[in-house]
Each structure stands twice: as C-alpha cells, then as structure tokens.
Amino acid sequence: MIESKRSIFKFRAVAFLIDIGILFPICYLIAILLIQILGVPVTPFEMYIRAIICFSIPFWIYSIGNDFSKSGSTIGKRIMKIHVVTLEKERLRLYQAIFRTAIKLIPWEMVHLSFFGLSEEWGTFSIVQMISIVITYVLIFLYIFVMIKTRGVKGIHDLVSHTQVKFIKKPKKSKGEKISFD
C-alpha cells in the first residue's frame, strides 16, 4: 500500500544522478592511480578486477554507509530531502543496508562480469556474455517498472530488504515551542 499521493520517483532519480556525479570522479581518480601504479590492464580479467576495485567497492561502501547512517540517506537523497527507512519507518539495520545494496547493484555488477569477467580475450563476445547482458537489461527494466508502479517508494531492492524511501518530514513546531530533531 502506497501512503503518499505524491510520487517520489523523480526525487529518487535526481538523487541517484547526484550520487553518480559525486562518485564517478572519485572512481575515475582511483582508476588513474591504479594505471600509474600497475599499468594498463592486459587481460579482460585484469580489467574486471580493476572495475571491482575502482567502481564496485566505492559504490558499495558509499551505499551501505549512507543507508546505514543516522540520516538514512546518501548526499543525493539529502539534497532531495528523502531517506531510506524500514517498513516501520525506523533506521536501517546493518544487514538491511548490506542486503539492499547487494540487490540494488546486481545489474551494475553483471555488466562488469559480462564485459570483462566472462571474456576470454579482448574483442570476443561469447553467447554466455550475451545472455548475461540480456538478463541485465531485463533486470533493469524490472527495477524501473517496480519503482514506477510503487510511485518511487520501493524498488525491488527495497521489497526484498523490507525498506522504503520516504520524504524527510520536517518536525512540527507548536506556538512558543522549540523544534526538536530527536
């Protein structure tokens, strides 16, 4: 059941773009640093390991750390005034933040695996890689479909981790009363 009549989907999309804008330059700098230290990857598998180090690990740390934080929101979500909470509207437990991130990043990780981890040599693309890419696009479509269907309150990763994204409510202030953020 969706409580809010106002869709949160656009807010989540903008928050995601803000987070990508923050993370990609950092990931790029890590990649440049690794090239300076280790040189250019020679094999697709080396590239796969680099993708994990340069992109996957920073995204996992950022997502888990921010979802588990007291605010329950990434920088993008804070700017858009939304946050992740449990179905009971409480702060996420660590296992929920980890599980939510794992499910959320399946398509992301499948792209790395499909293009680099499953490739035997540069310039070849096997049937297994093609099937993996098709599965990735089907998952992305399903993720977006669920998000639109729930007006942005829940994605597949929210459904399985029992979380939701809500607008941050401002505390109400009575006449002559101080605002409390507890």
Q: DSSP state, 175? A: T
Question: CA nearest 5: which of 167, 136, 133, 176?
Answer: 167
Cα-based distances in Å from 37 to 33, 34, 41, 72:
6, 5, 11, 36
Does residue 31 contact residue 50 with C-beta atoms inside 8 Å? yes
Q: Predicted confidence band at 38 (pLDDT cuts at 50, 70, 90)?
A: very high
Amino acid occupying residue 124: T
pLDDT in tens, 91-135: 999 999 999 999 999 999 999 999 999 998 888 899 999 999 999
